[in-house]
Amino acid sequence: MSTDPAFVAVPAQPNDFKFDLAHGALLIIDMQRDFIEPGGFGASLGNDVSQLQAIVPTCAALLAAWRAAGGWAVHTREGHAPDLHDCPPSKRNRGSPSLRIGDVGAMGRVLVIGQPGHAIIPALAPVAGELLIDKPGKGAFYATPLGAELAQRGITQLVVMGVTTEVCVQTTLREANDRGYDCLLVEDGTASYFPDFKAATLAMITAQGGIIGWVAPAAAVIAALSAKPCR
C-alpha cells in the first residue's frame, strides 16, 4: 500500500492547492469583537467595521464544514496583558485613536486579555479540542507557542481566514511561509477596512507563482472537504 499522503486538489490561484486534511489546520485570525463590533479597537482607529462583519457567515460556514470533515482548527486573538508589559509603547502611542490600547471603551479595556472586546465573536467561538492562541503582535507566530503546537501535530498546511487581510492575516501568512508551511488564504473569509488593501494583498500572495501562497473562495475549500482523495 502506498505511504504517500492522500490529498484533494482545491482549485485556487495561482494553481491547484493540493491539500491533505490530516496535515492541515484551519487558522482563524483575530475574529474578535474588538475588530468586528462597534466600540472596539478597530472602530477607535476610525474604521468602518461593517466590512469585517460581512465575512462572518462565510467564515462560519467553512468552520462548520471543516469540523464536520474532522478537521482541526486554531483560533488567534490579538491582545495584551492587563499591565501592558507585552505592548510596545510604539504600538500604544502611535497615531491619534479615540481610544488607546488599555483604555476603557464600550467593550471594556481595549485589546486587553479577558475583556469583553477581546473575545472571539460568538458565531466563531472555539470548541473543545481546538487551539486558542493569544498573540501580542500582528503575526501569530511571534511570541506565541503556535509553531511548536503545529509541529507537535505534524501540521504542514494552513487554510487561513480572518481579519484584517493586510495586517494580521498577511503578517501571519508571511511568517508561516518562511517557516515552510503551504498556506491558502480564503478570499471571501478575510476582510480589510480598506478594500483596495485586501485586493492588493490577494494579488501579492499569489504573484510570482504563489510567492507567499494560494488563494481560493470558501466554496472551493468546502467542496474539496467532501471530495475523494487522490495520491
Number of other CB atoms surrounding residue 174 within 10 Å:
18
Single out the residue of 19, 30, 80, 118 in contact with ligand TIU (rule: CB under 6 A). 30
In the DSSP assignment, the letter for residue 132 is: E
Q: What's the Cα-to-Cα distance from 194 to each of 2, 140, 201, rounded to whole Å?
A: 47, 21, 11
| Smallest separation (angstroms) from ligand TIU to the CB of 110 | 11
Question: Exposed, middle or buried, 103 (CB in 10 Å: 0-12/13-18/19+)?
Answer: middle
Q: Find the catalytic residue in 59, 87, 168, 183.
A: 168
In the complex, least distance from residue 194 CB atom to ligand TIU, rounded to whole angstroms: 8
Q: Does 34 bind ligand TIU (CB under 6 A)?
A: no
Q: Is 30 assigned a catalytic role?
A: yes
CA distances from 179 to 161, 167, 195 (A): 18, 18, 28
Write the interaction track for ligand TIU spanning residues 178-217; mark x where CB under 6 A is met and - where it is not: ---------------x------------------------
- How many CA atoms lie within 13 Å of 147's alpha carbon, on the beta-carbon side? 14
Taking alpha carbons only, the member of 40, 211, 43 closest to residue 115 is 40
Which x/- pattern, by CB under 6 A, does the window 62-101 give for ligand TIU? Answer: ----------------x-----------------------
Asked if 167 is part of the footprint of ligand TIU (rule: CB under 6 A), the reply reads yes
Output 37 or 222, the one with its CB closest to ligand TIU: 37
Nearer to ligand TIU, 137 or 225 (CB): 137
Residue matched to cell numbers 484533494: 8
Q: Which residues bind ligand TIU (CB under 6 A)?
A: 30, 35, 45, 78, 163-164, 167-168, 193
User: Which residues are identified as catalytic?
Assistant: 30, 135, 168
